Chain A
């Protein structure tokens, strides 16, 4: 798919994809990921960079068997909505443990992995995925 091979489309998001940098509204303090220009809460238009720590918990997850393009050979994978400790939620894969070990409520932390490599010749698109907090020493039982 054309847009998946676009270099600028990927490059522009590197700061967000590699370092989980979003924004904080200077007016009301709400934090957002990915970055946006206008605050839906207070309509404020002054946003400053905010780097999320990458730690959070799994809100809900599903094991995906039928993937979109670019992830054909990675199935089955665990896809979760993760609530970052600072508030906002993001969508990301859960790696570093077996699929059976993924649980709603488990603590996770962000790491860098390959998201998409369309073919042997294109640019490799890296980004964040989540794995159990404390990796490689962790316990996925939810307390």
Chain B
């Protein structure tokens, strides 16, 4: 089967983008990606976009059609993909399959979310709660911070992970985000500030949580037959893995791990013929600080229970043993839900091309993206290399 590469990338700044609506945010990211490759709208044969809840955030469905239209693509097959916060990652995987199978040569993959048009925290919380079991978790009062708080407590009880260790993840990611011009938050924070910020769902505080954000990210993906027409630095997708799990957190026996991530990464590693030790750096789904710690364990970077200490000891810093979230992660970069999976791809590609400037990981050759939906009901992992 033929190889698939990312040949162009683009993303908007993430944040509260009051001046721009959903379609404009996406189009801006798409323009940047096309300019990155010198490709035009005429080159795009198919379109996949990930968005979790455009319908509830801005009342718009059928956004495959909407965004293809506003991106200037005519009569191109356009599909919206949804897997909660993993929508972007899954959109990439769909494009990857289509190209591998020989159906298309050049595909635009995007991710988008416009969250700030919903005025109240309660409405955003409830809308995001639709990624959990609406009838039996959210209805009972579980929120996403609540779900990850339950995971955090279980992890702390079993392994002795501390709140300071959780906080160190946020501190690291803000430090990285400071060097990312597209990041929502570009200021450093301290462990003390994280611990002192207001409690959202004990033990998680405001600064343990990724923010509400608007943003779009786009990747142009091409087959090996045509990749070099668009760029001298194609970044190859060498492995893709996806797995699912129960929708409800309460249906999982062990709250200290996300099995979907274990399975997805095993499948991706197997496809790429590598193991966790071969990964140079990773962009993982730190929707909450505990999520990054659990991710590093699920991906096999550290043994179960040691993710917290590893973060505290600096092993995941940009210059550490295995850099995690050199882009700033969801915490500092922002988390427009559907866009995140594709933004992770943008960050990995920048790194592998050596274009990451102040947040550049030293001489990376293999990068990994880890994108989670809900409290771990979906996970998609991709592996990239030069």
Mark A residues whose CB is within 8 Å of B: 1, 3-4, 9, 13, 34, 59-72, 74, 77, 79, 81-82, 88-93, 104, 115-116, 125, 127
- CB of A79 within 8 A of CB of B251, answer no
Residues of A within 8 A of B143 (CB): 64, 66-68
A69 is contacted by which of B125, B145, B157, B200 (Cβ under 8 Å)? B125
Residues of B within 8 A of A127 (CB): 139-140
Residues of A within 8 A of B199 (CB): 63, 65
A81 is contacted by which of B121, B145, B204, B255 (Cβ under 8 Å)? B255
Closest to B120 in A: A69
- CB of A64 within 8 A of CB of B146, answer yes
B153 is contacted by which of A60, A71, A72 (Cβ under 8 Å)? A60
- CB of B157 within 8 A of CB of A104, answer yes
Residues of A within 8 A of B203 (CB): 62
The tally of residues in B whose CB lies under 8 Å from a CB in A reads 37
Tell me the minimal C-beta distance from A139 to chain B in angstroms: 21
Near A by CB (< 8 A), chain B positions 275-294 give none
Given contacts A68-B125, A71-B141, contact A90 B201 (CB under 8 A): no
- CB of B145 within 8 A of CB of A66, answer yes
- CB of B137 within 8 A of CB of A69, answer no
Tell me the minimal C-beta distance from B255 to chain A in angstroms: 6
Q: Is B138 an interface residue (CB 8 A)?
A: yes
Near A by CB (< 8 A), chain B positions 132-158 give 133-143, 145-146, 149-150, 153-154, 157
Tell me the minimal C-beta distance from A72 to chain B in angstroms: 6
Residues of A within 8 A of B146 (CB): 62, 64, 79
- Given the complex of chains A and B, what is the CA–CA distance between A61 and B157 in angstroms? 12
Residues of B within 8 A of A34 (CB): 135-136
Closest to B248 in A: A91
- CB of B250 within 8 A of CB of A81, answer yes
- CB of A1 within 8 A of CB of B126, answer yes
- Given the complex of chains A and B, what is the CA–CA distance between A67 and B201 in angstroms? 9
- Given the complex of chains A and B, what is the CA–CA distance between A72 and B143 in angstroms? 12
Closest 10 CB pairs of A and B: A62-B149, A89-B250, A68-B126, A63-B202, A69-B126, A60-B150, A81-B250, A62-B201, A69-B122, A68-B125
Closest to B198 in A: A65
Residues of A within 8 A of B154 (CB): 59-60
Residues of B within 8 A of A67 (CB): 122, 125, 141, 143
Residues of B within 8 A of A59 (CB): 154, 250, 255
- CB of A62 within 8 A of CB of B139, answer no
Closest to B56 in A: A1
Closest to A65 in B: B199
Tell me the minimal C-beta distance from B247 to chain A in angstroms: 11
Q: Counting chain B CB atoms within 10 Å of each CB, which of A9, A61, A67 scores highest?
A: A67
Q: Counting chain B CB atoms within 10 Å of each CB, which of A61, A68, A79, A81 scores highest?
A: A68
- Given the complex of chains A and B, what is the CA–CA distance between A63 and B153 in angstroms? 11
Tell me the minimal C-beta distance from B175 to chain A in angstroms: 26
Tell me the minimal C-beta distance from B314 to chain A in angstroms: 29
Q: Is B249 an interface residue (CB 8 A)?
A: yes
Residues of A within 8 A of B135 (CB): 9, 13, 34
- Given the complex of chains A and B, what is the CA–CA distance between A116 and B139 in angstroms? 8
Q: Is B313 an interface residue (CB 8 A)?
A: no
Tell me the minimal C-beta distance from A102 to chain B in angstroms: 10
- CB of A62 within 8 A of CB of B153, answer yes
Q: Is B117 an interface residue (CB 8 A)?
A: no
Residues of A within 8 A of B373 (CB): none
- Given the complex of chains A and B, what is the CA–CA distance between A69 and B149 in angstroms? 19
Tell me the minimal C-beta distance from A71 to chain B in angstroms: 5
Given contacts A3-B134, A68-B125, A104-B157, contact A60 B140 (CB under 8 A): no
Residues of B within 8 A of A60 (CB): 150, 153-154, 157, 255
